Amino acid sequence: MFLKICGIKTLDELKIVEKYANATGIIVECESKRRIELETGLNIIKNSKIPVFAVSTTKDLELWKKIVESIENTLSNSNSYNSSNSKIKPHIQIHTDMDVKNIEFLKTEYDCVIMKSFEVSKHSLDPEKDAENLLSEIEGYEVDKILLDTGKGCGKIHDHRISQIISKKIDVVLAGGLNFENVNNIVNSVNPYGIDMSSGVEKNNRKDEYLIKKVCNNLKLKS
């Protein structure tokens, strides 16, 4: 299972997270309690052994271009390599209703990996209809990974009946209110391709190795 741990802020957190996760994330160029300066994030990317998604809620194409180009420059001057021994591509995670054409531009103009988040309602009166509508929206985007979340890193659980239906049709990364106590039941129910966690593996606003280990143990992931 793909495991991403998002919202790291320091190299110390990176050292913990990269021992367990397949990818991590930094929050940049937007309002968030986990937001860090882009330069700080680039230093994390430069020193990471795993892909680092630059995550933002901005809709500003020029700002996204700045983010991606900064990552490209950082990676070109680093020794970061992936398992296929080719240069790691910039990874970005778009947490907003950004115009489809602008996302297409980023995908074609830059050789980057894009994860796009889609908001799932907390309580649905008609899960099948809501899943159908969300699938129709998702089909309009040409991106690499689909993230189903409750909304902009709020840390709340959404209606997993919707995610379950969608997960049967496409690969999804699941987020929203996951922690070591509930992650096993939720994963067994929804059967996602991967999960994205942040607050559920934090203690005192920092990523906590014990909590990450608990998640890995509960999911029987290699740790």
pLDDT tens figures, 51-75? 999 999 999 999 999 999 999 999 9
SS3 sequence of 22-35: CEEEEECCCCCCCE
Residue 54 tokens read as 């630059």
Tell me the CA end-to-end span of the chain in Å, nearest whole number: 12
pLDDT bin (cut points 50, 70, 90) of residue 220 is: confident
**Domains of the chain, start order:** 2-218 (3.20.20.70)
223: confidence class by pLDDT, cuts 50, 70, 90: low
Confidence of residue 78 (pLDDT cuts 50, 70, 90): confident
Q: Are 162 and 127 in contact (CB under 8 A)?
A: yes
Q: Return d(Cα 210, Cα 98) in angstroms, integer.
A: 36
Give pLDDT, residue 83.
Answer: 45
Whether 183 contacts 219, CB under 8 Å = yes
- Name the band, by pLDDT with cuts 50, 70 and 90, for residue 81: very low
**Section 170-177 average pLDDT:** 97
pLDDT of residue 152: 57
pLDDT of residue 196: 97
pLDDT 10s digits, 82-109: 444 446 899 999 999 999 999 999 999 9
pLDDT for residue 119 is more than 70: yes
What pTM did the predictor assign?
A: 0.93
What amino acid is encoded at 31 in this protein? Answer: E
